[in-house]
Amino acid sequence: MYLKGLGLGSSTIIGKIQKIEKNNSIIRQGRIIVSEELTYNLYKKGEKIKGIITDYGNTSSHAAILAKQSNLPVIIGAYTKNGKRATDVLQNDDIVKLDLKEGTVCRLTEEELCNMLQEESIIKRR
């Protein structure tokens, strides 16, 4: 599964998803948060967050400004090519890869994650 949005930054991160509903305020440490938009209350918990994916936003949106100020990895306006929003297709505990430079979100299987980590380990040993 593949989503495209506007990535803010140039890094690539991998992590587990946590969907945030408007009334859900408990954030698990080191998760990539999926939300309709980046609110200030969510932003304040940034030290616990590994990254954020939002359904809505643009370069001048609240999400973009807060992300730039805090160096928080964010992809805003993430949709599938069929027009489905990130909050519709991503589920809690999905493992995803965020490529901020390309603005992409890819859901990974455990096998794909293992292969990526194994390749990275081989490259580091060279």
The CATH number of residue 48's host domain is 3.50.30.10
Domain count, the chain: 1
**Lookup result for tokens 């965020």:** 98
pLDDT > 90: percent of the chain: 42
Choose between 62 and 6: higher pLDDT. 6
Contact 3, 96 (CB under 8 A): no
Cβ–Cβ under 8 Å, residues 71 and 52: no
Supply the pLDDT for residue 109: 83
Going by pLDDT thresholds of 50, 70 and 90, the confidence category of residue 26 is confident
Provide the residue range defining the domain that includes 26.
2-125
Residue matched to tokens 């455990």: 110
Q: At residue 20, what are phi and psi to the nearest 5 degrees?
A: -115, 120
pTM, entire model:
0.85
